[in-house]
Structure 1
Amino acid sequence: MHGVLLTTGLCLLLATTASSTRMVCVYDRVASTRPSVGQFTPAMIDPTLCTHIIFSSANIETQEVVPFDSNDMTLYAQLNSLKNRNPQLKTLLSVGGPGFNNQMFSVAVSSSNNRNRFITSAKALIKDNGFDGINLDWRHPGDADSQPMDPTRFLSLCQELRAEFDKEVPALLVSASVSAVRATIDSSYPDPSALASAMDFINVLTFNFHDPSESNTAHHSPLGALSSNPSDTRTTARTVLKMFNLYCFHSYIYSFVMHL
């Protein structure tokens, strides 16, 4: 038996608080380059399905946030034109993502001047293209290829973004996509509560707690411990979310193929 990850144009996150409910959808720019019927553009999104849509993603060059290529400008326009059909829709531009070069983030946060350059460029790109905010998708600030101070500097970037974006009326949004792996949390986010305080919301990537490498079938994004292992509270969404003082889940869709 093996798992097949199904990727459509959207990945869904549901985050609930005492005062609001969010359905946050993530659009991957690569979906627009798929051949034939696999192509999926922002114009094809039903804007009533989501309260927030994150465009994944922008790049970093010389400490500045920039589009990956010129075609992205067309995709930006398509995405933000969805607000004509749903004026309540909010859009965010993501920076980073899976496989993104850690060194680009590392250099961008390495000094106050570099962080200011990042923030100034991000703010201009967001406002010029009609986005409502930014999503930081630096999954592993504490990885082996990062600098020792990167986790602390990442928190500084988030706090400085918050301060700068709050100057706008209305304030621009700040969110982040963070790992749900306990070892990564411990090495990358020295103060999860402080990180959460700088954000409008956090996307905790609570998936792949269990995968096809295991001999037993288990939900890859369990809210609580499995009945077969009730003492395991580390690999559950509920435990991870409490570390960030959040209540949310972010998951992908899996199907399974049985080989007899």
Structure 2
Amino acid sequence: MGKALLLTVSLVFLHHIAFENIDPCLCTHLVYSHVNTTDDISKWKDEPNYKRFNGLKLSNKNLKTLIGFGGWKFGTSRFTSIAATKKSRSKFIEAVIIFLRKQGFDGLDLDWKYPAARGSPRKDKKHFTLLVKELFEAFTAEAQTSGKDRLLLTAPVASNINVIKKGYEIAMVSKYLDFISVITYHFYGNWNKFTGHNSPLFRSSVHNDHQSNLNVQSALKFWADKGAPAEKLLVAFPTFGNSYTLKSLETGLRAPVSGAGAPGPYTGKSGLLAYSEICPFLKGATRKLINEQKVPYAFKGDQWVGYDDPQSFETKAQWLKKNKFAGAMVWALNLDDYSGTQCNQGAYPLVKTLKSVLDIKSPEAPKDKGRGEIQPLPTVHKDKNGDDHWAAEDKFPMTRLIQSTLQYLPNSITTTVISGTMVAKSPDSKENSLLCVFVKEYVESDGADPQQTKDSNCLTEDGLRTIDKEENRDKVTFLNSPDYTL
């Protein structure tokens, strides 16, 4: 039986890759994270990306999408205010339900880092329980009233046992959460004065008793022993490593460091390297496996990084299955080698390892009204001018052009389909522009009259085009070239 695989997509992803290039069959759940500009969710105005993100479900009918609320940078004070009273919680919950239904999300990922920690008062331990309980009860009542599936409720939670004890009534909150993502990474980092692995599976004999619980196994065991059902616990898998600058010639675990490692070219953050940055670093580096902890590290010059690779992901996933946990959570999709250009392991090598070991099945492709299987959207590439192109090798039937274009266009475009012609108005960056799609084969197979559709004055029998900007319209051509330009 397959496990759950929850992937997180952050807004950083949008700077490097279009949502449409996310493989919607990689996982069971996708979380759209790091979108917070205010604690009032009713004021979040990112509708174009919400629609594009949730449009991924068109290619995977089993995919569930959630919005992430909170995060490390969000802090704790706003959560303290939200959870403080019955009235404040009810106001938040009502706004959440309206937002999720309006935007097409299937649930909420409540990312409070952490109750009763980082400036959060002790009473927030109880308030977190109340917030989760009341969210679940409201989601249940709304589903009964609307006739829709109940909205999902998940939460990333602490892995540090001291933080867990202070912040969570484990048995209580476990009743109301669909999944509990234990954040089993950042066990060690540049805040330490020595090297340590980001996400070790087991403890190491070189660490002292104080650090004996800083590992995946200890964290999951604590949650389970205190009342969290194994079938709700997700193990967090990082697609990044924590890095250090060495202080001496020592290069093993607990080697002294002077601070964070150098930033990578993609993430630009000291002390952290994405897997897509680690692969180039490994060229010329010394790589070693920490046998006790089942994870690798590498060093080159004065730079040291503890990271995960496909082998350690497989080892952890097999351990997860053996212990009958619910599945995995990945932070984050954009830190894997999503393009497949850096590691020579194909696209998404880490996530695809999890998908394989956890037996995540790809759904059958949907049918296009009896015309055959609908294939995933073509790969989008940037040309030298920064414009998007569908790659020539991604040819697909013209009968799919209307549907594919609908998925690709930004959410702010409103669409109307008449006799096989899609008219899409007002893209984000171009006011009052007009896009028209005409697929001769599609129109004729539906019994429409091609001559009538040509009267719209924005069609050709050979494909798609828009009219010049002098007529207040974009000039883009979709003809019979294999390289369709958007």
What TM bracket, shorter-length normalisation? Answer: 0.7 to 0.9
Equivalent residues of 1:60, 1:95 under 8 A apart: no
2:316 aligns with none
Matches within 5 A, 1:78-227: 78-167=52-141, 168=143, 169-189=148-168, 191-212=169-190, 213=192, 215-216=194-195, 218-227=196-205
TM-score by length of structure 2 reads: 0.45
Deviation track 1:172-194 (CA, whole Å, cap 9, x = no partner) reads 100001121222212211x1122
Query: Contact 1:27 / 1:42 at 8 angstroms: preserved in 2?
Result: no
1:259 aligns with 2:301: yes
Partner of 1:28: 10
Corresponding residue for 2:475? Answer: none
Hey, what's the Cα distance between the residues in 2 that align with 1:55 and 1:230?
38
Query: Partner residue of 1:42?
Result: 19
Q: 1:195 to 1:242 in 2, by over 3 A?
A: farther
1:88 Cα deviation from its structure 2 partner: 0.4
C-alpha distance in 2 between matches for 1:148 and 1:228: 34
The code of the aligned residue for 2:40 comes to E
Q: Which has the higher strand share?
A: 1
Task: Assess, with a 3 A threshold, how the Cα gap between structure 1 residues 20 and 198 changes in structure 2: closer, same or farther.
Answer: farther
| Equivalent AA in structure 2 for residue 192 of structure 1 | I
Between structure 1 and structure 2, the one with the greater Rg is 2
Contact kept in structure 1, 2:110 and 2:154, CA below 8 Å: yes
* Aligned 8 A contact 2:122 2:167 in 1: no
Which of 1 and 2 has higher RCO (CA within 8 Å, sep 6+)? 1
The one-letter code sitting in structure 2 at the alignment partner of 1:210 is Y
Root-mean-square deviation (CA, aligned residues, Å) is 2.2
Does 1:65 pair with 2:41? Answer: yes
Answer whether contact 1:132 1:173 (CA < 8 A) is retained: yes
Using the size of structure 1 for normalisation, the TM-score is: 0.81
| Residue identity matched to 1:176 | A
Q: Partner amino acid for 1:166?
A: T
- Secondary structure, counterpart of 1:223 in structure 2: coil
CA distance in 2, matches of 1:144, 1:250: 21
Partners of 1:20 and 1:174 in 2: how far apart? 20
Question: Is the contact between residue 50 and residue 89 of structure 1 (CA under 8 Å) also seen in structure 2?
Answer: yes
1:219 deviation in Å?
3.2
Instruction: After TM superposition, give the deviation of residue 99 of structure 1 in Å.
Output: 1.0
* 3-state SS of 1:140 partner: coil
Distance of aligned partners of 1:226 and 1:171 in 2 relative to their CA distance in 1, 3 Å threshold: same
Contiguous gaps of at least 5 residues in structure 1: 1-18
Deviation (angstroms), 1:223: 2.0
Q: Tell me the SS of whatever aligns to 1:235.
A: coil
In structure 2, what is the equivalent of residue 10 of structure 1? none
Residue 257 of structure 1, CA deviation: 5.2
Letter of the 2:33 counterpart? S
Tell me the SS of whatever aligns to 1:93.
strand
Cα gap change, 1:155/1:77 in structure 2, threshold over 3 Å: closer, same or farther?
Answer: same
Partners of 2:171 and 2:2 lie apart in 1 by 20
Secondary structure (helix, strand or coil) at the match of 2:119 reads coil
When structure 1 is superposed on structure 2, of 201-210 and 237-246 the one drifting more is 237-246
Listed one character per residue, the Cα deviations across residues 224-259 of structure 1 (whole Å, up to 9, x for unaligned) are: 212434965411211211232245321322235521
Is residue 236 from structure 1 mapped to residue 215 from structure 2 by the alignment?
yes
* Identical pairs, percent: 26
Return the alpha-carbon distance in structure 2 between the equivalents of residues 76 and 174 of structure 1.
Answer: 18
Instruction: Check conservation: 2:32, 2:65, Cα contact below 8 A.
Output: yes
Q: Indicate if the aligned counterparts of 1:59 and 1:67 stay in contact, CA closer than 8 A.
A: no
Distance in 2, Cα, partners of 1:27 & 1:67: 21
* 2:236 paired residue number: 250
Distance 1:186 1:113, change over 3 A: same
1: CA distance, partners of 2:83 / 2:208: 41
What are the ranges of 5 or more consecutive residues in structure 2 without an aligned counterpart?
A: 225-229, 242-277, 279-297, 303-486
Taking structure 1 as reference, are residues 182 and 67 closer, same or farther at Cα in structure 2, changes over 3 Å only? Answer: farther
Runs of at least 4 residues off by over 4 Å: 229-232
CA distance in 2, matches of 1:243, 1:198: 19
In 2, Cα distance between the equivalents of 1:95 and 1:88? 23
Cα distance change on mapping 1:236 and 1:87 into 2, 3 Å: same
Partner of 1:55: 32
CA contact (8 A) 2:11 2:35 kept: no
CA distance in 2, matches of 1:224, 1:103: 34
**What secondary structure does 1:54 align onto?**
strand
Q: How many residues align?
A: 232
DSSP 3-state at the match of 2:108: strand
Indicate conservation of the 8 Å contact 1:123/1:165, yes or no: yes
Using the alignment, how far apart are the partners of 2:55 and 2:178 within structure 1? 23
Whether contact under 8 Å (2:9, 2:32) holds in the other structure is: yes
| Deviation of 1:196 (Å) | 1.9
Q: Whole-Å Cα distance in 2 between the matches of residues 106 and 178 of structure 1?
A: 16
Q: Which amino acid aligns with 2:183?
A: L
SS of 1:107's partner is helix
**What is the letter of the counterpart of residue 74 of structure 2?**
F
